Amino acid sequence: MVVIAQGGGGSVSGTVVDTAGAVIPNASIELTNQATGVVLRTTSTSAGEYVFPVVPTSHYTLAITASGFKRGVANNLTVNLNQLTSVDVTLSAGGVESTVDVAASALVLQTDTSQQATTIQNRAYEELPLSVATGEARSPIAFLFLAPGVSAPKNLNNTGQSFNTRVNGGQNFQSEVQIDGASIHSTNVSGDLRNVPFAPDAVQEFTLISSNYSAEYGRTGGGIITFVTKSGTNQFHGGLYEYLRN
């Protein structure tokens, strides 16, 4: 089963089987966002397969129930941007009031797609120093240089201009830039990263797809840069910073 993540999220899929390896059809699967409490629901097919094709990036709890089997639960499931998280579930016979823990993890090697991508998560924005030598004070595009294959021409101060990045030796201003799945192409300069209108504090994570794009892309000679902004949660949160430049 091949699943391609789209827009501002990833995807979750897997197969539900019993301890003998036989598939379990019509199992009820719930995917709960731990930050917001929003629940996505689906059922397994006749082949025991299930899929959530578009899931916002966050941490989730996956719960699987089927008649005659113990309830399976996978906690702290992380969904990353443009990545497939595979969770194959084995249920034991028993009453639904019993619960078993299910091991789950995102695939390190994405065998369902040939695209080359790098994801920079929120932790990098919070813990790594943000260089302002490029002239774009507190800009999230400065973190593009954490991805392999990204370079920028030098200005008069011999520093790279992060808005003018080149991916894998391609031309500058040739990348597709998306925010929460929507393109922000300029009408006169495509791939102009100066159109990124928010501070790093607003970014949940971003992904740079550098080669072998899927069929949903195709208007670029550079990379695919997708930003996902933070969404509201059930907890109050905010940020405070001081910026001083001599």
- The CATH number given to whatever domain includes residue 173 is 2.170.130.10
pLDDT tens, position by position, 46-97: 999 999 998 988 889 999 999 889 888 888 888 887 778 888 888 888 765 5
* 189: containing domain: 116-229
Whether 33 and 58 have beta carbons less than 8 Å apart is answered as yes
Do 127 and 221 lie in one domain? The reply is yes
pLDDT, residue 156, reads: 45
Residue 1 above 60 pLDDT?
Answer: no
What is the domain count for the chain? 2
Query: What percentage of the chain has pLDDT greater than the value 70?
Result: 72
pLDDT, residue 158, reads: 47
pLDDT tens, position by position, 113-150: 667 778 877 777 777 776 654 455 567 777 777 788 88
Residue 34 above 70 pLDDT?
Answer: yes
Do 26 and 96 lie in one domain? The reply is yes
Do 20 and 58 lie in one domain? The reply is yes
> CB within 8 A of 119, min separation 6: which ones?
80, 81, 82, 83, 205, 206, 207
Stretch 183-203: mean pLDDT: 67
Handedness of CA 149, 153, 157, 161 (dihedral sign): negative
Whether 17 and 190 have beta carbons less than 8 Å apart is answered as no
* CA 125/CA 140 separation, integer angstroms: 8
User: Which range, 10-19, 40-49, 136-145, 206-215, has the best average confidence (pLDDT)?
Assistant: 40-49
Is the residue at 133 inside a domain?
yes
Do 201 and 130 lie in one domain? The reply is yes
The better pLDDT of the pair 45, 75 is held by: 45
Is the residue at 245 inside a domain?
no
pTM (predicted TM-score): 0.66
Do 64 and 166 lie in one domain? The reply is no
pLDDT band at 215 (very low <50, low <70, confident <90, very high): confident
Do 52 and 149 lie in one domain? The reply is no
Stretch 28-46: mean pLDDT: 93
The better pLDDT of the pair 159, 71 is held by: 71
The domain boundary, picked from 106, 132, 150, lies at 106
Do 42 and 90 lie in one domain? The reply is yes
Whether 134 and 193 have beta carbons less than 8 Å apart is answered as no
DSSP character for 138? T
Is the residue at 33 inside a domain?
yes
Do 220 and 121 lie in one domain? The reply is yes
H or E stretch covering 15: strand 9-18
User: Which range, 33-37, 201-205, 210-214, has the best average confidence (pLDDT)?
Assistant: 33-37
- The CATH number given to whatever domain includes residue 79 is 2.60.40.10
Is the residue at 216 inside a domain?
yes
Do 126 and 215 lie in one domain? The reply is yes
Is the residue at 2 inside a domain?
no
